[in-house]
Amino acid sequence: MSLLVPILVLSGLGAAMGVGLAVAAKFLSVAEDPRVEALVDILPGANCGACGYPGCSGYAKGLVAGEDVTLCSPGGNATVKDIAAILGVEAVTVVEKVALVKCAGGRNVAPDRSLYVGPQTCRAAVLVGFGNKECRWGCIGLGDCAEVCEDDAVEFTADGLAYVVADACIACARCVKACPRDLIEMVPKDRKVHVLCSSHDPGKITKNVCQVGCIACKLCSRRDGKSFVIEDNNATVLYGEGSRDVPTAALICTPGAVWDANMYDQVTWLTDPEARVHLKEQQAEFKAAERAERAAKKKKAAEAKKAKEAAADKAEAEPAVGKPEKTEEAPDQEPEKGAE
Amino acid sequence: MSVSFRGGIHPRYAKELASDAAIEHLPPPDRAIVHLSQHIGAPATAVVKKKQEVKKGDVVGEAAGFVSVPVHAPISGKVTDVGLYPHPFGSMQEAVVIESDGKDQWTDLPPKAQPDSLSGEEIKDRIRNAGIVGLGGAAFPTHVKLSPPPAKHIDTVLLNAAECEPYLTADDRLMREEPRRVVSGFQALQKVLGAANAVICIEENKPEAIGAIEKAVSKAKGVRVATLHVKYPQGGEKQLIDAVLSREVPTGGLPMDCGVVVQNVATCAAVDDAVRFGKPLISRVTTVTGEGVANPVNVVGRMGTPVQTFIDAAGGFQGTPGRVILGGPMMGGAIHKTDIPVIKSTGGVLVLTPEQLPSGDFESCIRCGRCVRACPIHLCPNEMGNYAEVEMWEELEGLDVNDCIECGCCAYSCPANRPLVQLFRYAKLWIRQNQARAKTAESKDEK
């Protein structure tokens, strides 16, 4: 009996409060746009902040208030479509992006110049004499980018070079801000040809400090000025409209700063010395083929000229014919399918 | 009676290594790499081209703005390159390379003059045109220090002859051997500033220098000598002002905010050359010392001479060098190769042996409080270090990390071997970045 009283009292209290809460929920409720909840459901829920809002629910509210629908980079095109469906606006296609570390200089090819002791972060390391790497633009490899990456998409080679695993990257771009050397760029996911060097030193200096650094020789930009541009001693791939994956770019880049994902996968390219040897062979082959082609063309042109001259000789009365047209640059070829 | 400030440390001074070596002159280098950024502020702009003939003292870089000074050719010869070369601070910076013609010929210098016959403005012009910067280590353009805003009245000028950095003896030797030059330059500075008081502040451990300077100032009016307690960082501007004048430089302020300007010994000697003879600053006294060199020396070397030349002048390395530092052991910076050229602020080349180097491993703070006692700014390095390690920047700002002078007393006294100064520099960088970010966000909002 003595047990029954408190049980009854407490359950009575509980029931009364439950009724109170139910009533409050009914009459004191704040009307919220139902679309917000729907949007939160379809957003990826990574709360990465790439859109500029504190989290997915923040962006959902922003969307209802008329924010741009293409800001969610982890979601990509599918999310844009869903958002557009909920908001009743027209869906636009976005270019899905992925982070890329624009440096291929592990310690095997771009050595350290001194020993660094102290807090093990890149930002702290560059405070001591601008970093302990001989190249003052390259990846230090202490992992400030990996620290901020919540998807463990940043990995390191044995030689202390950071690279982003494209499949794991959700394109939140947090690593872009974390890198004290501004090496990371968001690039379109479907692009295959990249320049993995961010050095703005003159070629003479870059050559001395890194075996795979861009020396700004302009071979790539001369071949396709819409896809490559040389700015401040560094070749940059233009990813915008009108650009393309130049298939021969990797075959003409002397130091091997251009990485063609069609030829070598990322890990092979960054870690396997065999890949470089193989590329050198490919380059030599390509060069020889191009030279042969050019020679053939020249020969052809010379023959044509001769024939024309002969014709001109025959018809003396006629005025001399001008020089034959200048030999065109060899057109781009498909890369030799030798890559594994 | 000697005076001092609260805090500080007593490291092993090791001045005896080089203090008895009289100043020698290094021969001019065959090839000088003259950096255009030898001072705090905007780097000078190159005004010479490849293959141009220059004479010693010709301007090779014009000052780019007010907080900047011109850079002069240290040798006569031909300019062979204007490009990027390794800088003592670790980066690559623009430099003018001059190949010597062996003549070492001066250019046409301004006429000789007596400081008394020149006006304050004329003296200041000569100082600026001679490219003189603070030679104590920070390399702040001297003419800027001599141009206080009209609202700030300067009543005292201090000659910082403490030379509190262990190992270094360049200022000591300069005072012993050429006290008149130092005092004359100092008086020229006093004249420019119109300061009523002038105090020459020397640490007690340099009795010969004190004697020589006292003799030199015996006839000068309004100049007195103050002896200081031997303690690091006695030569820090703020500590010196505190010790000698019992004044405090306000947070984020400059010595001129409390009516004081502080100048260094070598700067005064350079000022004298500029004022009397119109000579630009192309050489300075540098101490080459440490247990890692055979015969420590004090030498006058031209700017742009590679560090290796200095080490050779001291008889080369003794054993395997552990670390080569430009400046003193407390605030100097290590370099990674010895073909780097020296700049105006290089007052010392210190070679340590591998055994003298710290391991670099560090542990957690054990809250012993030694750093708090040592901090000459009266900060709490222990707490600041802990916050910096976990990247709590706002708390660090609250603990006034920005007032840290990076003297290294805390790290020196830490039994857990914590890299406190580096952590604070790291914190300062972050705070600066966050402030800049907040500023840009604000301006965006306004739009």
- pLDDT tens, residue by residue, B253-297: 999 999 999 999 999 999 999 999 999 999 999 999 999 999 999
- Is residue A314 situated within a structural domain? yes
Question: Are A279 and A216 in the same domain?
Answer: yes
Is residue B334 within 8 angstroms of chain A, CB to CB?
yes
Q: Quote the number of domains for chain B.
A: 2
- Is residue B15 situated within a structural domain? no
**pLDDT of the residue at A48:** 85
Question: How far does the CA of residue B398 sit from the closest CA of chain A (Å)?
Answer: 21
Paired strand residues for B202: B161, B227
Beta strands, E only, chain A? 97-101, 154-156, 162-164, 184-188, 193-195, 228-231, 234-237, 258-260
Residues in B 374-393 with any Cβ partner in A closer than 8 A: 389
Question: Are A157 and A69 in the same domain?
Answer: no
Residues in B 60-99 with any Cβ partner in A closer than 8 A: 83-84, 89-92
Is residue B360 within 8 angstroms of chain A, CB to CB?
yes
Question: Are A339 and A261 in the same domain?
Answer: yes
Question: Are B123 and B244 in the same domain?
Answer: yes
Question: Are A174 and A250 in the same domain?
Answer: no
Question: How far does the CA of residue A68 sit from the closest CA of chain B (Å)?
Answer: 18
Place of tokens 């750093």: B371
Predicted confidence band of residue B215 (pLDDT cuts 50, 70, 90): very high
H-only helix segments in A43-169: 56-64, 76-87, 122-125, 144-148
Please compute the mean of the pLDDT values over residues B115-135 and round it to a whole number: 93
Q: Which of A40, A74, A94 is the last residue of a domain?
A: A94
Is residue B337 within 8 angstroms of chain A, CB to CB?
yes
Can you tell me the distance from the alpha carbon of B205 to that of A254, in angstroms, rounded to the nearest whole number? 61
**Interchain CB distance below 8 Å, A119 and B426:** yes
Contacts of A117 in chain B (CB under 8 A): 358-361, 419
Question: Are B149 and B250 in the same domain?
Answer: yes
Question: Are B126 and B270 in the same domain?
Answer: yes
Q: Which of B277, B292, B325 is the last residue of a domain?
A: B277
Interaxial angle between packed helices B420-446 and B381-389, expressed in degrees from 0 to 180 and rounded to the nearest 10: 60
Q: Which of B277, B306, B326 is the last residue of a domain?
A: B277
Question: Are A103 and A151 in the same domain?
Answer: yes
- Residues B420 and A118: beta-carbon distance below 8 Å: no
- Is residue A186 situated within a structural domain? yes
- Residues B413 and B381: beta-carbon distance below 8 Å: no
- Is residue B104 situated within a structural domain? no
pLDDT in tens, B285-313: 999 999 999 999 999 999 999 999 999 99
Is residue B336 within 8 angstroms of chain A, CB to CB?
yes
Please compute the mean of the pLDDT values over residues B356-374 and round it to a whole number: 91
**pLDDT of the residue at B368:** 95
Question: Are A281 and A329 in the same domain?
Answer: yes
- Is residue A16 situated within a structural domain? no
- Is residue B283 situated within a structural domain? no
**pLDDT of the residue at B437:** 84
**pLDDT of the residue at B446:** 67
**Interchain CB distance below 8 Å, A129 and B92:** no
ipTM score over 0.85, yes or no: no
Contacts of A137 in chain B (CB under 8 A): none
User: Domain range holding B376?
Assistant: 370-446
Contacts of B335 in chain A (CB under 8 A): 129
Can you tell me the distance from the alpha carbon of B180 to that of B269, in angstroms, rounded to the nearest whole number? 9
- Is residue A27 situated within a structural domain? no
Contacts of A124 in chain B (CB under 8 A): 422-423, 426
**Interchain CB distance below 8 Å, B360 and A118:** yes
Q: Which of A94, A115, A139 is the last residue of a domain?
A: A94
pLDDT in tens, chain A (340 residues): 788 999 999 999 999 999 999 999 888 888 878 888 889 999 988 888 888 888 898 999 899 888 888 888 888 888 999 999 888 888 888 888 999 999 999 998 999 988 888 888 898 898 888 888 999 999 999 999 999 998 899 999 999 999 999 999 999 889 998 999 999 999 999 999 999 999 999 999 999 999 999 999 999 999 888 999 999 999 999 988 888 898 899 999 989 999 999 999 999 999 988 999 999 999 999 999 999 999 999 999 999 988 888 888 877 665 545 544 444 444 444 444 444 3
Can you tell me the distance from the alpha carbon of B242 to that of B233, in angstroms, rounded to the nearest whole number? 12
Q: Which of A171, A190, A209 is the last residue of a domain?
A: A190
Question: Are B143 and B270 in the same domain?
Answer: yes
- Is residue B7 situated within a structural domain? no
- Is residue B422 situated within a structural domain? yes
Is residue A208 within 8 angstroms of chain B, CB to CB?
no
- Is residue B138 situated within a structural domain? yes
pLDDT in tens, A222-267: 988 899 999 999 999 998 888 889 889 999 998 999 999 999 999 9
Please compute the mean of the pLDDT values over residues B8-33 and round it to a whole number: 94
Predicted confidence band of residue B154 (pLDDT cuts 50, 70, 90): very high
Is residue B224 within 8 angstroms of chain A, CB to CB?
no
Of B91, B335, B419, the CB nearest to A119: B419
Can you tell me the distance from the alpha carbon of A337 to that of A265, in angstroms, rounded to the nearest whole number? 14
Classify residue A216 as left (phi > 0), alpha (psi -120 to 50) or beta.
left
Residues in A 101-130 with any Cβ partner in B closer than 8 A: 113-114, 117-119, 121, 123-124, 127-130
Question: How far does the CA of residue A303 sit from the closest CA of chain B (Å)?
Answer: 47
**Interchain CB distance below 8 Å, B89 and A130:** yes
**Interchain CB distance below 8 Å, A129 and B90:** yes
- Is residue A12 situated within a structural domain? no
**Interchain CB distance below 8 Å, A130 and B429:** no
User: Domain range holding A308?
Assistant: 192-340
**Interchain CB distance below 8 Å, A129 and B334:** yes
Interface probe for A, chosen from B92, B323, B431 (most Cβ of A below 10 Å), is: B92
Question: Are B268 and B375 in the same domain?
Answer: no
pLDDT in tens, B379-403: 999 999 999 988 899 999 999 999 9
First to last CA, chain A: 83
User: How many CB pairs below 8 A link A and B?
Assistant: 50
Question: Are A108 and A237 in the same domain?
Answer: no
**Interchain CB distance below 8 Å, B89 and A119:** no
**Interchain CB distance below 8 Å, B92 and A201:** yes
Question: How far does the CA of residue A205 sit from the closest CA of chain B (Å)?
Answer: 8
Hey, what amino acid is at B252? Answer: G
**Interchain CB distance below 8 Å, A124 and B389:** no
**pLDDT of the residue at A317:** 61
Using alpha carbons only, what angle is made at residue B254 by residues B253 and B255, rounded to the nearest 5 degrees? 130
Hey, what amino acid is at B406? Answer: E
Of A118, A131, A136, the CB nearest to B422: A118
Q: Which of B230, B254, B277 is the last residue of a domain?
A: B277
pLDDT in tens, B64-88: 999 999 999 999 999 999 999 999 9
- Residue B341, classed as helix, strand or coil, is strand
Question: Which of A32-36, A216-220, B210-214, B414-418 is least confident?
Answer: A32-36
- Residue B151, classed as helix, strand or coil, is coil
Question: Are A217 and A330 in the same domain?
Answer: yes
Question: What's the pTM value of the predicted model, to 2 decimals?
Answer: 0.84
Is residue A205 within 8 angstroms of chain B, CB to CB?
yes
**pLDDT of the residue at A181:** 92
H-only helix segments in B20-177: 120-129, 142-145, 170-177
Token digits for B96?
């003018």
- Is residue A48 situated within a structural domain? yes
**pLDDT of the residue at A328:** 47
Question: Are A258 and A328 in the same domain?
Answer: yes
Spell out a b/e string for B98-107, using b for 16 or more CB atoms within 10 Å of the CB, else e.
bebeeeeeee
The CATH number assigned to the domain holding A110 equals 3.30.70.20
Residue B198 neighbours by CB under 8 Å, 6+ apart: B156, B157, B158, B159, B186, B187, B190, B222, B223, B224
Q: Classify the C-alpha dihedral B207-B208-B212-B213 as positive or negative.
A: negative
Interface probe for B, chosen from A123, A179, A232 (most Cβ of B below 10 Å), is: A123
- Is residue A9 situated within a structural domain? no
**pLDDT of the residue at A335:** 46
- Residue A154, classed as helix, strand or coil, is strand
Question: Are A234 and A114 in the same domain?
Answer: no
Is residue A52 within 8 angstroms of chain B, CB to CB?
no
CA-closest candidate to residue B362, choices B331, B332, B397, B386: B386
Place of tokens 């009854």: A8
- Is residue A244 situated within a structural domain? yes
- Is residue B364 situated within a structural domain? no
Question: Are A310 and A213 in the same domain?
Answer: yes
- Residues B275 and B264: beta-carbon distance below 8 Å: no
Question: Are B264 and B406 in the same domain?
Answer: no
Question: Are A143 and A269 in the same domain?
Answer: no
Q: Name the helix (H) or strand (E) containing B442.
A: helix B420-446
> For residue A175, which phi and psi values (nearest 5 degrees)?
-65, -30
CA-closest candidate to residue A163, choices A228, A236, A105, A239: A105
Using alpha carbons only, what angle is made at residue B341 by residues B336 and B347, rounded to the nearest 5 degrees? 90
Can you tell me the distance from the alpha carbon of B141 to that of B127, in angstroms, rounded to the nearest whole number? 9
- Residues B5 and B56: beta-carbon distance below 8 Å: no
Q: Quote the number of domains for chain A.
A: 3
**Interchain CB distance below 8 Å, B422 and A114:** no
CA-closest candidate to residue A233, choices A212, A257, A202, A206: A202
CA-closest candidate to residue B179, choices B240, B265, B115, B112: B265
- Cβ–Cβ contacts within 10 Å for residue B259, how many? 18
- Is residue B162 situated within a structural domain? yes
**pLDDT of the residue at A338:** 42
